[in-house]
Amino acid sequence: MPLVLAATPLGDSRDASARLVTALAEADVIAAEDTRRLRSLAAALDVTPGGRVISFYEDVETARLPKLLESLHAGETVLLVTDAGMPSVSDPGYRLVAACVAQDLPVTCLPGPSAVTTALALSGLPSDRFCFEGFAPRKPGEKSKWLAELAKERRTVVFFESPHRLAATLKDAAQVFADRRAAVCRELTKTYEEVRRGTVAELAEWAAEGVRGEITVVLDGAPEQQVSVHDLVAEVSSRVAAGERLKSASAEVAEGAGVSKKELYDAVLASRRS
């Protein structure tokens, strides 16, 4: 029988799928990030967990793997649920899924609520291409490097942040891209759900007063830079001086900048003649 990853409601128990209710009643083993929250959810759904319930949070993931794999090899169904949303998406689960894949054990999923896609949809920002960054780095040096990378990211960015670190993160972000559009989504699907939209600088000012609840931040991608062929000649020339062939250097730089390889190659040759 398979490992079943089951999405759980972000806040409103009515968002639970009928398949989740059935799985809670029928699974042989239920691995839960927080067993108390699991039992509260089960009570709200009027279902009694039918199998053994064990805790499966970050600090015990590795220790719990052997027994869970043993259960799967024995033909038992293992249901994995986290506190809210999809297991393994910034929640416990990845190690267990990877171990199942390595041992050719079946894995399936009961889809459902996700803070990532819910916030993205509500943000009002482009959703055709996006990336998920998990939680923002805590250490100042790592955060500075991360923000510098996001400054170049063309896709819409979604990330999580704790309420007591949100103000500092937005303040740091405002120093890198103050005018970039963003949205802070708080307490999604819950009673006090709130979506704040504005520039990063505006949201940093708002967050400075203090914010509570579960936070998901959506950040607009970097604006498209208009680069001319002539702006890239120096970069190609530098790479050639370092030992690269002109043709390959021109091709790589042109591809990265989205310009014509031939036009860039010809511009480099013309610069040598001038």
CATH number at residue 142: 3.30.950.10
Across 45-54, 179-188, 234-243, least confident range? 234-243
Mean pLDDT, residues 15-20 taken together: 97
What residue numbers bound the domain in which 127 lies? 115-219
- Are 62 and 122 in a shared domain? no
Q: Is residue 87 part of a domain?
A: yes
- Per-residue confidence (pLDDT) for residue 224, from 0 to 100: 74
Report the chain's C-alpha Rg in angstroms.
24
Q: Global pTM? A: 0.80
131 in any annotated domain: yes
Residue 224 lies in a domain: no
Does the structure show a pLDDT above 90 at 227? Answer: no
Same domain as 253, residue 204: no
Residue 247 lies in a domain: yes
Has residue 185 been placed in a domain?
Answer: yes
Is the pLDDT at 33 greater than 70? The verdict is: yes
Is pLDDT of 226 > 80?
Answer: no
- pLDDT band at residue 147, thresholds of 50, 70 and 90? very high
In a domain, 88, yes or no: yes
Q: To the nearest whole percent, how much of the chain has pLDDT over 90?
A: 81
Position 265 in a domain: yes
Q: Is the pLDDT of residue 80 over 70?
A: yes
CA distance 65 to 231: 54
- Banded pLDDT at 179 (limits 50, 70, 90): very high
